[in-house]
Amino acid sequence: MNTVRTELLGDDLAGLSRAAEILSAGGLVAMPTETVYGLAADARNDMAVARIFAAKGRPRFNPLIVHLADAETAQRYVVWSDMAQKLADAFWPGPLTLVLPLKPDAGLSPLVTAGLPSLAVRVPAHPLARSLLQRFGGPVAAPSANPSGRISPTKARHVLDGLSGKIEAVLNGGACPVGVESTIVGLTAEPTLLRPGGVAGEQIEAVLGQPLASPAQGAPISAPGQLNSHYAPGAKVRLNVTAPRDGEILLGFGAVDCALNLSATGDLTEAAANLFGHLHALDALDPDGIAISPIPDTGLGRAINDRLRRAAAPR
């Protein structure tokens, strides 16, 4: 990935409006939240979301949390419920993330949910995050702003140490007060504690008036197995193909003759941005098989190949 100059933005109006401008242009901004710094991008923009994975060097497309200004806005993207309302009333804005059914017409990049039919939503409490979300006015995907496998950042300095040259800006909000990630509660089936975090499970159980299931007993929709089956196209998938067989359609990469191309110029970020949409589009044609061009196993190519191997796995 090309190096960009990473701006350090102050916590004033100029800093906020610059951060919102960068998000609107499809750029990446590390924003302070009360838990940890998040690497923010417009959740509707495929290329911007693909760049999150590239900047973090994530070897997999795992689903991201979408950050919103308030609970009313969240309801545009997820199917709301009484339990969601109770938890939002009690803990939002704050370090709680709710996983709810994704609205089909939500208009988010499929990379945000890694193609899952559910979406993680959160309304952060940090004043700068709130101001940025209001100013930007759209849904913001934001994993922790650290390179994959490194410790989550709780200061602007940590973000710069890990991601300088890979993102457009860091909005400097000082130290994050909570310091651990948000608690994630799944509400697509029985209420389930998917990740412990800034709000204690006991507090959540008290508000719900019932115990939270643990992912082992409940159904962790983020579990690799489920991701697999959801993502597998109906058609048989064959990888590293240079010559498709009769009845197969080719999902290309680079300068090849194909039905759809992930990136004709061989750009891995563009290929990641197109991955889920193109797979769905080809699958909708109901071919005998989908053949896929070789994709280099470097940078974002690793995450793309990880996903494609699951799609091609026997089932």
185 binds ligand TXA (CB under 6 A): no
Question: Which one, 149 or 209, has the nearer CB to Mg ion?
Answer: 149
Cα end-to-end span (Å), the chain? 35
| Interaction site with Mg ion (CB under 5 A) | 144
Question: Which one, 109 or 144, has the nearer CB to Mg ion?
Answer: 144
Q: Which of 27, 115, 143, 244 binds ligand TXA (CB under 6 A)?
A: 143
* Partner in contact with 172, chosen from ligand TXA, Mg ion, none, beta carbon below 5 to 8 Å by kind: none
Helical (H) or strand (E) element with 277: helix 268-283
Task: Judge contact between 279 and 251, C-beta under 8 A.
Answer: yes
Q: x/- binding map, residues 87-116, to ligand TXA, per CB under 6 A?
A: --------x-x-x-------------x--x
Q: Which of 41, 184, 271, 279 binds ligand TXA (CB under 6 A)?
A: 184
Amino acid found at 87:
L
Pairing type for strands 169-171 and 7-9 reads parallel
191 binds ligand TXA (CB under 6 A): no
Q: In whole angstroms, how close is the CB of 15 to ligand TXA at the nearest point?
A: 18
Structure tokens at 24: 């609107």
65 binds ligand TXA (CB under 6 A): yes
Task: Judge contact between 172 and 9, C-beta under 8 A.
Answer: yes
64 binds ligand TXA (CB under 6 A): yes
62 binds ligand TXA (CB under 6 A): yes
Short-list 295, 278, 299, 274, CA closest to 287? 278
Question: Which one, 43 or 262, has the nearer CB to ligand TXA?
Answer: 43
Short-list 34, 62, 204, 167, CA closest to 120? 62
Q: Going by C-beta distance under 8 Å and a sequence separation of 6 or more, which residues neighbour residue 131?
A: 16
Short-list 273, 270, 268, CA closest to 295? 268
Binding-site ranges for ligand TXA (CB under 6 A): 33, 35-36, 38, 62-65, 95, 97, 99, 113, 116, 118-120, 122, 142-144, 181-182, 184, 194-195, 221-222
